[in-house]
């Protein structure tokens, strides 16, 4: 469980991460929605930092090759916090 996931700043950074990865994979919101099994509106809500169920966020992250720890590390990195060594592993998958 992520300690930051209910914070508006986390949702915004997570949305930016999802949008960036989706675009780098050359997927439309509709393409990603079909891959995850949700509506395009749900993808849009996530990318705009709106509240959606965490189970949906996990499915989106997994469909983009990420996990919850990756999202947490990305949030801490973007907030300028010191990050432990696990970020070195995550850097291969994250657009830092």
In order of their start, the domains of the chain are 8-66 (1.10.260.40)
pLDDT value of position 1: 44
Question: Which single residue is written with the structure tokens 């919101």?
Answer: 29
Specify the pTM. Answer: 0.76
Between helices 54-63 and 68-78, what is the axis angle to 10°? Answer: 90
pLDDT value of position 75: 75
pLDDT value of position 6: 67
- Please identify every stretch of the chain with a pLDDT value under 50, giving residue numbers as ranges: 1-2, 85, 89
pLDDT value of position 88: 52
């Amino acid at each position: 469980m992520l300690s930051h996931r209910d914070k508006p700043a986390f949702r915004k950074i997570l949305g930016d991460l999802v949008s960036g990865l989706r675009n780098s994979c050359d997927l439309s919101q509709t393409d990603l929605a079909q891959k995850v099994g949700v509506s395009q509106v749900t993808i849009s809500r996530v990318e705009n930092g709106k509240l959606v169920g965490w189970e949906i966020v996990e499915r989106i992250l997994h469909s983009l090759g990420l996990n919850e720890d990756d999202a947490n590390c990305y949030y801490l990195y973007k907030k300028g916090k010191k990050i432990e060594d696990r970020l070195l592993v995550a850097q291969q998958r994250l657009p830092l």
